[in-house]
Amino acid sequence: MNIDPNRPDQPARPPVVSFEDRMATVEFRVGERAHIVVDSDVCRSCTTQACVTACPANLFAQTSDGGILFNYEQCFECGTCYMVCNSEGALTWTYPDGGHGVVFRNG
């Protein structure tokens, strides 16, 4: 996108960024092993499912049967999900294998 920041007809706000475009700015070297595993059976009894809104990469989704579906590929490895998780054993969290996962450039 070619932008002249001084053009008066530019909107007063930066463009709205879709979540896909937002995540497309981040480099991920996706490993073969899922470094986070969710036990959806445990999640079904969770009353808060706080991971769904708190995860900054939006990797947790509620399934129609009340469980949790998790996608590990675009994970920031921040740890928010296990910090907010209040169901013991629902989340197994490790680091991705060496050299894999997120690679920040401007962190």
Partner 1 sequence: MPENVNGEVEVWDAVVVGAGPAGAAAALALAQAGRSVLMVERGPFPGSKNVYGGVIYARVLDEVLPQWWLEAPVQRWVTRRSTMIMTGHQAVTVDIRAQNWGEAPYNGMTAYRPDFDAWLAGKAVEAGAELITSTVATGLIRDDRGRVIGVHTDRPDGDLRARVVIACDGVNSFLAKEAGLLPAADSAHHTLGVKEVWSLPPEVIEERYALGPREGLDIEMLGCTRGIPGGGFLYTGHDTIALGVVVSVEGLAKAKVRPEELIADLRTHPAIAPALRGAELKEYAAHLIPEGGYRAMPKLATDGLLIAGDAAGMCLAAGLWLEGVNFAIGSGLAAGAAVSQAVWSNDFSAKGLASYRTSMEKSFVLADHKRMQDAPKFVLSERLHAQYTGLICDMAERIFTVTNPEPKPRMTALLRRTVKDHGVRWRDLAKDAALGGRIFR
Give contact residues for partner 1 (rule: CB under 8 A): 1, 3-7, 10-14, 17, 19, 21-23, 25-26, 29, 48, 50, 53-54, 56-58, 76-80, 82-85, 94-99, 101-107
Complex with partner 1: residue 45 or 53, whichever CB lies closer:
53
CB of 64 to partner 1, least distance (A): 20
**CB of residue 89 vs partner 1: minimum separation in angstroms?**
11
C-beta of 64 vs 89, nearer to partner 1: 89
Note every long-range contact of 49-53, with CB atoms under 8 Å and residues 24 or more positions apart, other chains counting. 50/84, 50/85, 50/86, 51/80, 51/81, 51/84, 51/85, 51/91
Task: List residues bridging with 37 in a β-sheet.
Answer: 92
For residue 99, what are its two tokens? Answer: 């050299």
